[in-house]
Amino acid sequence: MPRTSDARERIVATAARLFLERSYQAVGVDELCQAADVRKGSFYHYFSSKSELGKAVIDLHAEVFRRRLSAAKAATPAQKLHAIPDAIGAIQAALEAQFGRAVGCPFGNFAAELSTTDDELRTHLAATLGAMEGHLSAVCREAADAGALRDGTDPDRLAHALLAQYQGIILLAKLNDAGVSHLAPALHDFIDGYLADQPA
């Protein structure tokens, strides 16, 4: 019998996998408990509702994103900007390898499925994406302050556009079953369009 001390982590990790395989709505608590090898009582010990579990899954994906970005080796502001597509591409490549297809962005999936049906989860997701966009804005502002961006580029708007570009590309990849190998290169090209010309 698995140790109860890691029950919460197993529930969250199992939920993250099942939600990506199918969807949040399609996975019931009974199935989840069976897949995670925990009793239903243990589930409700850690989570008062499935919605609370959804928040924990969002937080898990956000932490993966933060770790990927913080591990990037980047010295210049432009390199820090380009580390973002590399981090996103690595995450999506790992998911594609795990599931055998493009499964979309976990945040985008939640937004599309639940934004009009679960206001509590929508609010949590919006705050999480807001924090991610804030991190991207900080990177873009650093690049602007260093003169790495084209004149007139608003770093906050660039961060918002970069996040939206990612969501759109990965949504189409999931819809068309097109794979994710083009994701990072497309985001690199997008960023290059905002970089100032470097002296020869």
Task: Assess contact for 114 and 24: CB atoms under 8 A.
Answer: yes
Taking alpha carbons only, the member of 11, 114, 88 closest to residue 57 is 11
Q: Per the domain annotation, does 149 fall within a domain?
A: yes
Does residue 175 share a domain with residue 109? yes
Question: Distance between alpha carbon 63 and the CA centroid of its chain, in Å?
Answer: 9
Does residue 63 share a domain with residue 149? yes
What is the count of structural domains for the chain? 2
- In the predicted model, residues of the chain with pLDDT beneath 50 are 1-2, 199-200
Show the beta-strand stretches assigned E in the chain. none
Task: Assess contact for 159 and 146: CB atoms under 8 A.
Answer: no
Q: Which two tokens stand for residue 184?
A: 């990072």
Q: Per the domain annotation, does 184 fall within a domain?
A: yes
Q: Per the domain annotation, does 96 fall within a domain?
A: yes
| Alpha carbons 157 and 161: distance in angstroms, whole number | 6
Task: Assess contact for 158 and 194: CB atoms under 8 A.
Answer: yes
What pTM value is reported for the model? 0.89
Q: Per the domain annotation, does 101 fall within a domain?
A: yes
